[in-house]
Amino acid sequence: MSNRVEPICSVKGTRDLLPPDTNLWQRVEAEAHRVFAAYHYGEIRTPILEETALFARSVGADTDIVMKEMYTFRDRDEESLTLRPEATASVVRAYLEHSLYNQGGIHKLYYVGPMFRRERPQKGRYRQFYQIGAEVLGSQSPLVDVEVLEMLVLFLERVGIREYQLLLNSVGCPKCRPEYLDVLRQALENVKPTMCADCQRRAETNPLRVLDCKVEADQPIIEKLPKIIDHLDPECRQHFDCVTSGLQARGLAYQVTPRLVRGLDYYTRTTFEITSGALGAQNAVVGGGRYDGLSEMLGGPPTPGIGFSIGQDRLILAVQAAAVLKSEAPLAAYVVWMGEAALAPASRLVRELRAQGLSVEIDYDPMKIKKAMGVANKLQARFAIIIGEGELAGGRYQVKDMTTGEQQELSPGAIASFLKGKF
């Protein structure tokens, strides 16, 4: 009888992110921190667990997210909890719970973290996935919409995404949407029997969700349905026109896409997506829009808002395709020591260089010079710093450029500034 223990693997739809890929993730996140800070956003970190009612009420009980995709369970107190499938509802919940609205003014918040949905895993789509997102609470100005989109475009360009398309639409507001929904229901009456089962159900419960259907066979039917943008009231039309003119004034290209309604019930007025041609069929990298009634849905005061989420898993694929940011972190130097007497000064030098913010590596097991230089090559170190008996006696270490082969002697105190000048 075998005593072999079966290995435990990651759960389906999840994955381990390993070096050097995690370095690329960190660089993308660092760029997000820089760009968002330039627009005066502050970071918020919310729990990954929330009361299930938060998402049922905000995202929409009839959405695929709530009906099919959420990880929901009862804890030991019989309270229904859900792993967050998205972060906007959590951010607004925190905004209300901590009474940020009493501080007045506009609140700009951003987040980075994991979300959870039980979807069919495929390239760029996982059951634990990551989002970078931002929310602006407290302003209904269309110029805020424009600034949000401007910030998004700047961020994408900073991480090397040059080929993208901004898709834009308006889904109206509670004043003008009911009239459109009546028109849409009438148009669906004759065609819904030929559509997928989900669309047949949505046609009765939430007809706007029909426009979000991804079933290929339904697309010709959806294309002929009435457009919501043709049924906006004067205020929503003026808001949308101001957004488009603001984008034009900033030289930001966009495409009006009348079927773009997004998959969440809380959206009002501006909705948008940004797609990347580097991703194939599943090409949406960013999605977002305005949600002026979400605060009231969650029991708070009237608070207009707009936000977006970036699918970080897909974004990383697009960044890799653009090949602007690289996964590997550059290793400034590999320190080679020869003889027990050299180990302590070598360790001291490594500590000093790291304290200066330089990436440096050392092995603590003794090895011959040839093998050590081979390790430096394998690690793709830019420089090798060689410390042996002769270097210790002369007080100057050998610094070899692993790219050119050039070698020079430097005092230990001069090595940090020398390396910094090369990076």
Question: What is the model's pLDDT at position 136?
Answer: 97
Question: What is the model's pLDDT at position 190?
Answer: 83
CA–CA distance, 126 with 118 (Å, rounded to integer): 8
**Kindly report the CA angle at 81 between 78 and 82, in degrees rounded to 5?**
155
Phi, psi dihedrals of residue 255, rounded to the nearest 5°:
-130, 120
Look up residue 218 and give its two tokens: 């339904």
Phi, psi dihedrals of residue 355, rounded to the nearest 5°:
-65, -20
Measured between alpha carbons, how far is residue 37 from residues 41, 145, 155, 161, 308 in Å?
A: 5, 17, 11, 20, 16
Question: What is the model's pLDDT at position 422?
Answer: 86
Measured between alpha carbons, how far is residue 407 from residues 131, 373, 383 in Å?
A: 46, 13, 9
CA–CA distance, 386 with 98 (Å, rounded to integer): 57
CA–CA distance, 375 with 287 (Å, rounded to integer): 45
Measured between alpha carbons, how far is residue 418 from residues 229, 346, 350, 356 in Å?
A: 61, 17, 14, 12
User: E-assigned strands of 175-302?
Assistant: 255-256, 268-276, 284-290
Look up residue 53 and give its two tokens: 């009612």
Beta bridge partners of 173: none
Look up residue 292 and give its two tokens: 């002026």
Q: Which residue has the tokens 């009862």?
A: 74
CA–CA distance, 212 with 221 (Å, rounded to integer): 12
**What SS3 class is residue 60?**
coil
Amino acid at 111: Y
* Residue 170 near residue 181, CB atoms below 8 Å: no
Residue 265's nearest CA partner among 100, 58, 92 is 58
CA–CA distance, 352 with 358 (Å, rounded to integer): 9
Look up residue 14 and give its two tokens: 């999840």
Taking 3-state DSSP, the helix, strand and coil percentages for the chain, each rounded to the nearest 5, stand at: 45, 20, 35
Beta bridge partners of 143: none
Please name each of the domains of the chain with its CATH number: 21-176+232-322 (3.30.930.10), 331-420 (3.40.50.800)
Question: What is the model's pLDDT at position 169?
Answer: 94
Mean pLDDT, each 10-residue run in order, the chain (423 residues): 83 91 93 96 96 88 79 92 95 96 93 93 87 96 96 94 91 90 87 86 83 84 88 95 96 92 80 82 85 92 95 91 70 95 95 94 94 94 95 95 94 94 84
**What SS3 class is residue 100?**
helix
Question: What is the model's pLDDT at position 45?
Answer: 97
First to last CA, the chain: 59
The model's pTM is 0.84
Question: What is the model's pLDDT at position 299?
Answer: 92
CA–CA distance, 331 with 375 (Å, rounded to integer): 12
Burial class (CB in 10 A: 0-12, 13-18, 19+), 260: buried
